[in-house]
Structures are given as C-alpha cells and as structure tokens.
A and B are shown apart, each in its own frame.
Chain A
Amino acid sequence: MIPFFREENREITGSFTAVEAELISSLATQVAGLLGAVASRSDDPELAGTGIGGSTDRHDDPALARLLPNAYSEDDDASREFRQLTERGLASRKIDNAVIVLHTLEHIAALALQPPAPLDDAPTTVPDDASSLFESHDDDPGTEIALDEPTAIAWLRTLTDIRLTIAARLGIESDDDTPDETDDAALVLADVYNWLGLITESLVEAVDS
C-alpha cells in the first residue's frame, strides 16, 4: 500500500496490491451486507418505496447500533420516530459509498481472485489475507488508483463505517479498550483496523491539502 496523497494536478492517488484491494473490498461488501437488511426493510408495504418506514428501535447488533445510532440521547420516542423516517435512507447512502469503493478497487481486487497455485488451498478469509498484508509483496508492486473529490469522500465514509464495524466486533468502546491479547483472530483484526486507520489518515490529509 502506498498511502493516498494529492498530486500536483489535484488528483488524489494511492496504490494497493491485489490482496489489499481484495481485503478492503471484502470488508466493504460485508458492511454493505450488514446494512442491506435495514435499507431494504419494508415493514409497511405502503412506505416501501418512500425511503421511510425503517425500524423503530436501536439495533441489538452493536455494529449496526453504532452505524445507525439513536438521534436523540434522552428521548426514545423521538428517536424511534426519527429512525423510522430516516434510517433506510442513511443505510442506503452508506451502501452507495461502499459500492463506490468496490468500483474503484474492482480491477485490482480481481487480480487476487485468479486461481491459486494447485497446492494452495487456504481459504480466502480475512485473517489469512490480513496476515499476508504485512509481508512483502515482491511479486505485486501494487496498482495505482486515482480518486476525484466525491469518490474520496465516499472512501472516507466507507473506511469509517468499516472501522466502526470492526471496533464493535472487537468490543472497542472507549479510548482505553484494546483487543484481547490472547485471541489471535482479534489481534489480526486489530492489525487490519489500524491499517485502515493509516489509510484513512492519509486520505484525510490528501483531501485536505
């Protein structure tokens, strides 16, 4: 990965290897999938096409609860009403951002999906991908992508949604929380989380410059 930066021609560029692109794509797809159930919810058929008619209560899933939080901290009725009116739209916009990220990465990520060597039957799971992220990729120098301003903002929002989701899965709820040191999968996920943080940081700087 070469972090994002602003070129002299104002274009924002970064570079990802196929494995990295596939990992980000996989995570974006998972977050979009999580939100998909909310965005397509139509409890009330009359409201199905209107974008309103979302669920009424905060989600039990901590990741969804953080992605789609209550709007009123002290008024459950108002939160419920607001959620019904706005939640599907919010979820849909988040999915749209994730789809934009998938589009910008698809030509790189596709390279990672080429048939593996015959003896390599390791499943393409996030932890396996993630551990290989931190090894050198002599055979894959990375492929550059260029983002315009709206695409960069969609990227920032999706990177944030992915990190919020991972943080919820890792139980990171305060500044002092750290992942369980005895849980290898959690440690790998925490590495991914921090790596996505580096990308986000570079993209904020690039958008800002």
Chain B
Amino acid sequence: MEPDVAGSSPVVHPRVAGRQQLFHTAEEWPGIPGPFFVQPCTPNASSSALCQARNVAQAIEDTELQSSIQLDSPWVTIVWNDPVNLMSYVSWVFRSYFGFATEEAERLMLQVHHDGRSVVATGSREEMERHVEAMHDFGLWATLQKADA
C-alpha cells in the first residue's frame, strides 16, 4: 500500500493491522493539519466536492474491506483441554472475555473438558489472533486455524 499524502492510510504491516487503532482524528495525528480529519461530512456539507470525493473513497474502502473479510473468513479460535486449568476458571474466562452467558460458557467449557477442544470464536484471521493471544494471557491453551482445516 502506498502512503497517501493526506496520511489517512498509515502504513501498517498487514499482520499488525487491528492491533492498533488507525489514526482518524487531528488529535491522534497532530502533524497533519486541516479539514481531512476534523470536518465530518454532515448532511448540510455533503454537497461539497471534498465530501463527495470522500464518500466515494469511503465506499471503495468499505467494499475492499468487505471482500477482504470474506476472503479471510472464516477462521476459528480453538481452546484445548489441559489438566491444569480449573473448570470454574475456564468458564469465567469465557464469560468475562467473550461475554458469553453463563449457560453458553458452561457448555463450551464442558465441551473443552469432554471433547478435548472447542471452537469458541469464528471470524477474521486478525480477530482470531487477538483472541488466541488473549487466551494465552489467561493461561488457556488456544490456537487458531481456518474453519475448514
């Protein structure tokens, strides 16, 4: 990806993308002045040439984003059974990190326990990498792979 002059597309290694917030506002990118960042295209201002150009650019970006998600998807995060982690702890991790309801967290935890593994999330590769790293933070044994692998 070529850096563009406005700096609206900071060069981010694709494997690091998603690990950090991209820069969207003038405050977050103080070196770049001007209206690219600070003036939203409100309905009143949407007729300006700048806004129209940005809307087109945004539409292209959205389309590219969607197609890249489709190409990347689906990946899965798998949590593996281990003899160390307590069932209550694993269930708590599933609830507190993924936001699962108690029943779902228990079901997944028991699946890990009885079947040796459970798919706990599905999505883009980057998203699954974040989940796996978070599971490793909790000391759970997790991996990601393509859903059909």
Contact = CB atoms under 8 A, between A and B. Distances in A.
Contacts of A69: 136, 141-143
Interface residues of A, number: 36
B132 A71 contact: yes
Interface string B61-94: 0000000000000000010011111101100100
Contacts of A173: 83
A160 B85 contact: yes
A71 B144 contact: yes
Interface residues of B, number: 25
Contact of A164 (B16, B92, B129, B139): B139
Contacts of B139: 67, 157, 160-161, 164
A75 interface: yes
A204 B129 contact: no
B149 interface: yes
Which of B78, B139, B144 has its CB near the most chain A CB atoms (within 10 A)? B139
Contacts of B133: 71, 86, 90
Contact of B138 (A68, A72, A160, A197): A160
Given A157-B139, A172-B83, A85 B144 contact: no
B86 A93 contact: no
Interface string A65-98: 0111111111100000110011000100110000
B16 A201 contact: no
Contacts of B84: 160, 163-164, 167, 172
Given A69-B136, A85-B16, A90-B136, A74 B145 contact: yes
Contacts of B149: 74
A39 to B, nearest CB: 14
A73 B83 contact: no
Interface string A173-209: 1110100000000000000000001001100110110
A108 interface: no
B112 to A, nearest CB: 11
Interface of A: 66-75, 81-82, 85-86, 90, 93-94, 156-157, 160-161, 163-164, 167, 172-175, 177, 197, 200-201, 204-205, 207-208
22 contacts: A66-B82, A68-B136, A71-B129, A71-B132, A72-B143, A72-B144, A74-B145, A74-B149, A75-B145, A82-B15, A85-B15, A86-B133, A160-B139, A164-B139, A167-B83, A172-B83, A172-B84, A174-B83, A200-B89, A201-B86, A201-B88, A204-B92
